[in-house]
Each structure stands twice: as structure tokens, then as C-alpha cells.
A = this chain, B = another copy of it.
Amino acid sequence: MSMQDTASSGVALWRLVADGIERGIADGRFAAGDRLPGEMEIAETYRVNRHTVRRALAALAERGIVRAERGSGTYVEAQKLAYPLRSRTRFSEIVGAGGREPHGRMIETSEDVATRELARELGLKTGAPLVRIEAIRLADRAPICVSTTWLSAEHFPGAGTVFAATRSMTKMLEHYGIRDYRRGATRITAGIVDATDAARLDLPLGRPILVVDATDLDLEGKPLVTKHSRFAAERVEFLVEP
């Protein structure tokens, strides 16, 4: 393969090689600690120059996914965070269960007004005042996801401040007298990270993300908050439980 004979995809060849290797690690062809094939061998399987492979490996090494040892080989070191969907498990518990250290913080908060879309999700009128909360969650200092949360400014005045102090959505809702809530419809798709999220998630541009749109309801089915979360696909996998 070369840049000429393939239809130009806007993705550098070395990126395709790096993605291929990373996928091999993700689906278990290369386990943590394994030695990868030599640079020449990888170059042959992908039909590229050895320098292109080196570029790919350098990128993976910089992200801590592989480690090169001169004269010996290149070795794997990485694994994903299993993330159950539809449970009430908190992020901290999910991360803790994997033996990792959870961490979260607010990035920013602001007042906003409901677009038609947001109003529909939250059962409000278009233009209704909202609180927008931008937050990030990490496991062992590796950013897992950034999420934008919207909720009614009328029903939850000062929600941003409360969230910043408690660092927990559950505790924030408790502050307003909400003891329990359940997950409404959840929408999942994938995309490519944008510049802002790339910086926050410490991802190179062009990496895939899992996009989750979800609304939480109170026990009567009334919408409380709606979230738009972007997960670093390379660090997490979702589990839909039967």
C-alpha cells in the first residue's frame, strides 16, 4: 500500500498502521507484555516502509501503549476499563472495581438556554434557562470521559456550584431533595474527537470516541438531567448486561 494507489482518506499511513496494531492489542491478538513482530515484519504485513512503521510505533509508545527495547523488540503495555451500562453503579465504583484510582472534577459551568432539542429531552420549553456543567472523569490519572450535563436552572438553581463542591452528580441531586433516579433512553454512537475534547482527554486528533447521550428520570419518569458524554474509545469498553 502507498499513498498513491489508495484513495486518499485524509489519514496518514503511519496512523493506519498504528490503529491496526492498537486494534490487535484491543482484541487480544497481542496481550499485555507480549512482544510485537519486528519492524520489518510489520512493514511487510502492511506493505509500507519500515520508517512508516517506526512512526506508528513511536506514536503508540508516546501514548504509553507499547515500549520499544533496542536490540530486542517492542512490547505491549495497556488494557481497557470495563464500563457497565444501565447499572446504577457510580463511576468511582466501576473504576475502583478495576483496581484503579478514580478521580473527577468540574471543568466549567455556565447558564444556557434550551435549544428545541434540549427542551424536548428535559420536558421544558425552548429557551428555558438551563445550567450547563462540563466535567471530566479519570482513572489512574488517565482521562476516561468528558461530559456535558444540562439541567433546569429553575428547578436546580446554583447546580454548578453544588456539583463543583460535591464532585458527584448523585450528591448534587440529593442536595435538591432527589433521593433516587433511573436511566431513561440512552443513545450510543461513535465519532472522531474534536480539538477541545482531544486536549481534555489527552488524545491525539483523529482518535475515535464513544458518544453517549442519556437522560436521567426521577421515579415518576420526569426528566431531571440530560448528558452528552464523550469517552476515549481506546480506554474503555461498554458492557450491556442481559
Contact = CB atoms under 8 A, between A and B. Distances in A.
A214 to B, nearest CB: 8
Contact of A86 (B16, B184, B240): B240
A185 B228 CA distance: 24
A237 B213 CA distance: 10
A6 interface: yes
A48 to B, nearest CB: 11
Given A189-B80, A192-B19, A233-B190, A11 B205 contact: yes
* Interface size classification for chain A: 35 or more
A182 B242 contact: yes
A208 B192 contact: yes
A219 interface: no
Given A28-B117, A242-B182, A208 B191 contact: yes
A88 interface: no
Contacts of A242: 86, 182-186, 217
A17 to B, nearest CB: 10
Interface in A197-242: 204-206, 208-210, 217, 228, 233, 236-242
Interface of A: 1, 6-7, 9-12, 14-16, 18-20, 22-23, 26-28, 59, 80, 85-86, 117, 182-192, 194-195, 204-206, 208-210, 217, 228, 233, 236-242
10 contacts: A10-B15, A11-B206, A16-B206, A19-B191, A23-B194, A86-B240, A186-B242, A188-B240, A189-B236, A240-B240
